[in-house]
Every structure is written in structure tokens, then in C-alpha cells.
Chains A and B, each alone.
Chain A
Amino acid sequence: MSFLFGGPRPQPSSAEKIAAAEAEIEMVSNMFNQLVDTCTRKCIPSQYREADLNKGESVCLDRCVAKFFEVNVKVSEKMQGEAAQRGGAAGGGMFGS
């Protein structure tokens, strides 16, 4: 997740790189699992009359994914704004930049 901390720094050892890559994979796969869970709950009715996705369900899933991403961006922007306001130069932390 080096993109969070932009800017030059001493080149990371390969162990650090591997750890960072693992953390990123973990993050992406968690996000995907959440996405599947949330969007199927919201879009797929629990009667299961048919095994195939119908038109409405498919479109709902597509939109659900797009909106989930949008919400991600909004929340992260808001949190960054808040952190910048509160912490100023001192804070930094997870959302610094």
C-alpha cells in the first residue's frame, strides 16, 4: 500500500515489499467479499424461483458495484479531509498525504 505514503523513501527490502503486497491482496479480497455479500443481499430476492440472473437482477448488481466504489471514494475523501483538519501537520497517520 505504498501509494498511501507517496514520496521518496529508502528503498524497501524485498521482505517489506512482499508484506506490502500481501496486505494489498488481503485488502482487495476483503473488499470483494464484502461486495459480493452486500450486493447479492440487496439485489437477489430470497425466493430463488430461477437459477439464472434475470435482467433486473443483473442491472442491479452492476449498479451496486459502481455505487459501492463511489461510496468508498466519498468516505475516504471525507476521512482524509477530517484527518487533515484535526491533525494538521501533527497527525498524518493512516490517511496522511
Chain B
Amino acid sequence: MEKKQMKDFMNTYSNLVQRCFNDCVTDFTSKSLLGKEEGCVMRCVDKFFKSSERIGERFQEQNAAAAQGAGPGMGR
């Protein structure tokens, strides 16, 4: 279980780096991150966590509703 959590965490982390890098870093005329790129990355990460929190809430609601409608288990 801990192994899976670790794997999940690393997955989320690398996906997030990939996404925020692709969306925010487009200028390769300098070697270090520009101020606006850094700001963009910070907002990107912040926003991602807020989004996944909100999605998690809705996900649980939907799951609970589905479970009530179809007995134990999920996916309906």
C-alpha cells in the first residue's frame, strides 16, 4: 500500500512538472527561469491542487450517489 502511494505521488509529481513546464515555459533565450515563468509555474501548481481537491469532492458525491442507487460497489 505504501508502495502504491509512493508510486502515485511520483506519478502526480512528474505529470505536474510536465504540464506546468509545457504550459509556462516557452522562451529559451535565457538559461534560468524568468520571473513570469516562475510565477506561472507557482500558479499552475496551486491551481492544479485546488482543482483536484474540488474534483475529489464531486467524485465522492457521485460515488456515494451511485453506490446508493446500485447497492454496494461502485462504477454505476
Contacts and interface: CB of A to CB of B under 8 A. Distances in A.
Contacts of B54: 53, 58, 61-62
A50 interface: yes
A4 B75 CA distance: 10
Contacts of A58: 54
B56 A72 contact: no
Given A3-B72, A48-B40, A40 B52 contact: yes
A3 B58 contact: no
Interface residues of A, number: 38
Interface in A13-59: 24, 26-29, 31-33, 35-37, 39-40, 43-44, 46-53, 57-58
Nearest to A52: B50
Interface string B32-76: 000000001011101110111011101100110010001111111
A22 B54 CA distance: 25
Interface of A: 1-4, 24, 26-29, 31-33, 35-37, 39-40, 43-44, 46-53, 57-58, 61-62, 64-66, 69, 72-73, 76
12 contacts: A3-B73, A35-B59, A36-B51, A37-B15, A40-B51, A48-B23, A48-B40, A48-B47, A51-B43, A61-B58, A65-B59, A66-B58
Interface of B: 4, 8, 11-12, 15, 23-24, 40, 42-44, 46-48, 50-52, 54-56, 58-59, 62-63, 66, 70-76
